[in-house]
Each structure stands twice: as C-alpha cells, then as structure tokens.
Amino acid sequence: MDIANPSDEHQMLRDMVRDFVDEFVEPQALEYDRDEKFNLELLRSLGDMGLLGLTASEEFGGAGLDTVAVAIVHEELSASDPGFALAYLAHSMLFVNNLEFNGNDEQRERILPKVCSGEWIGAMAMSEPDAGTDVLGLSSSAVKNADGNWVLNGRKMWITNGCIDEEDTPADVVWVYARTGTDQKGRAEISTFLVENGMPGYSVGQKIIDKTGMRASNTAELVFQDCIVPPENLVGSVGDSMIHMMANLEVERLALAAMSLGIARRSLDEMNKYATDRSAFGHQIRDFGQIQRYIGESWAKYRAMRSYIYDTAVNMGLGKAGQRLDSDGVKLFATTAAKEIADAAMQVMGGYGYVAEYVVERLWRDSKLLEIGGGTLESHQKNITRDLSKSPEVINK
C-alpha cells in the first residue's frame, strides 16, 4: 500500500489538486511572491472544489475528509507556492477546522457555509507583539459589559489572512483568543471569540511586509479597540480555549509538516533535473561525488519525511487531542529536513539556484517559517521530552 495514497479517493484528491496547481497556482507563484501579493481570488476558487472546508461537515458545504486528505492538499499546494498554501492553511485549518469541531450548532450553521464557499475568508489570532509560544502570557482581554456583550481589547501580531487585500480590509471572520479572568490556580483564563468584519473596534493595524519568505500570503497586525462581540460569538464556555488549542494544534502541525514535504519534493525534483542537464569538465554534474551526496541524502530525508507524515496522518483523529508526541515529532523533523533539502538544491544549482527565476530560491526562503510558525522547534523539543518522560513505554512499542 502507498501510505501517502491509502485509498482511491485519496489518489483522486491528489490528482485533482495537482492538476489545479499545474494550471492555476504555478503560473502565478513567482509574480505573487515577488510583489508580496495575496491571490485572494485564487484562494476563493478553492471553495468551488470543496477544499476550503476540507474537514468540515458536508451539510454545511464542507468535504468531510480526513487527516490524510489534509496532508495531501498541503503537500501539493506547497510543491508550487508555499505562501499560497499558508493562506489556505490559515483559512481551512486554523479557522474552518476549529469551528467545525469546537463551535456550537448555531455558529456552525451560520458561518461554515460562508467560509466553505469562499464568500468569507477566515483567520486565527493568537500571537501578540509580546506573546507567542507562551499562550498564558496573552495580554488581549475581554470583559462582559452591562448589556451582556463582550468588550475585547488588544493587538494580535503575525496573523496570516489578517489582511486580505491591498486596502487593509481585515479578514471576514477571526478566531480570537483573549484573557477573560484568572482560574482557581491563579493562571490566566483564556476564552475564544468569533470576531466578524464590521464589528465596531476591529481593524487592521498594519500589513507586515519585507518578510523573508511566505511573501504570497498576507500577514497583519490586528487591533481590537473596545471591540463589541455579542455573547453568541463566544465559542464554548468561558475558559475553554486550551481545549480548542490542543486538538487543533495537532492537525495544524501535521499540515505544516506536509507543507515541508511539498517543499522537499519540489526541491529534490529540481536539483535532480539540473544535475542531468548541467555538465562540467565533460560530465553531467550528477557524476561527481559531492553532487551525489546532496541528491542521495535529500532522497533519504524526503522518503523519511513522507513516511512519518503519512503514518501520523493515518493515525490522527480530527477534533480531539492525543497525538501530540507525533504531531510535534513530525513537524520537528520535517521542517528542518525541508530547509536542508532546499539548501542542497540551491548548492547543486549554483548561481541558478540563487535567483528568483528558479523556484528553489523561493522554497528555501519559505521553508524557514515552518521552523517557527505553529510552534517553534524548541517548543517541539520540550513537548517531546516531557511526553516521553510521562510515557517512556511508547519507545519500545
């Protein structure tokens, strides 16, 4: 069995997305990266294919697919345009998947059809100027007023899809984490809110430009200044955010690892072709030992990534926590391996690998963010070490 295509349906999905990438994503990738533009209409068009609600219920316009499908779509998009794939991830995983598994019936019925179709673009806002991995260090706060509404104040930073165009239009709907008090142990109590464009006090603070990579996705600071959020837009109960975060982080990390796989596969393909096309001293450069080392080691890393990613995908359930050891492990390994393979491709291709016309330069830049976003390498190392301390028996299973 091909672990990356365990059923005919998965193979059909891969073929469909690959055809879409060849026809529509690849032709625009260089331009949108160079100009730091977000292809909003291209993202919306994925709604027609059922991909914007990949894991959402079919009754609300989703596709109702599994975690293997999540890995397939993110791999295929990233083999061409990781920046575009990141915008897709922020919408489909950070918002839509979160709402599917954590929202109530009214919220899902009202919002999911709009985000699954592409009418609305979603985002998730957790990181702040002074808080990232330290979730309990968030300073954004929400207080209930006399009318029963929540008054949200704070700033969120590095938000993918936070700004969806060049006119600083904020995302249509954002999944926002904010402090609502202190629990019995004296720790910050974090709650989740659905903030919609048009709610008073919600705006884009700045579009973040001059990023090293992922330049085809819009990144923004979001500002909530006395933002009025109605009580029906509280997700779950007060203080439920950690439950929402843990389950969704696992599938997010799988998707980011799959993005790394797409980068690695394309980089390997480009360096392999170049090593045949390029000659030096009367030989194809693939005849030289050092080039063989770059290609051989990259192939081994790529295959190891692929196996680990899809093994994790097959065993991961949606909407519930419990796979942190491997969701952290696969992202820890795959993101660094992708960067190393992209770097090897640049080295094999020499000057051609270093210029924007050739895709590996962009892939190399894009790969770095995957070691930071969705959990830093250091956070994965900490989590894995902690989990193995609690459950050392998993090593010898």
Handedness of CA 338, 56, 310, 6 (dihedral sign): negative
Active-site residue 357, yes or no? no
Question: In 3-state terms, what secondary structure has residue 64?
Answer: coil
Q: Which residue has the tokens 């109530």?
A: 104
Contacting residues for 56 by C-beta, under 8 A, at least 6 apart: 62, 63, 64, 96, 97, 99, 100, 112, 116
On the 0-12 / 13-18 / 19+ scale of CB atoms within 10 A, 200 is exposed
Torsion angle of C-alpha atoms 175, 177, 196, 28, degrees rounded to 10: -50
Whole-number Å distance between alpha carbons of 139 and 39: 32
Q: How far apart are the first and last CA of the chain?
A: 22
State the catalytic residue, choosing from 252, 270, 361, 371: 252
Q: Return the active site residues.
A: 252
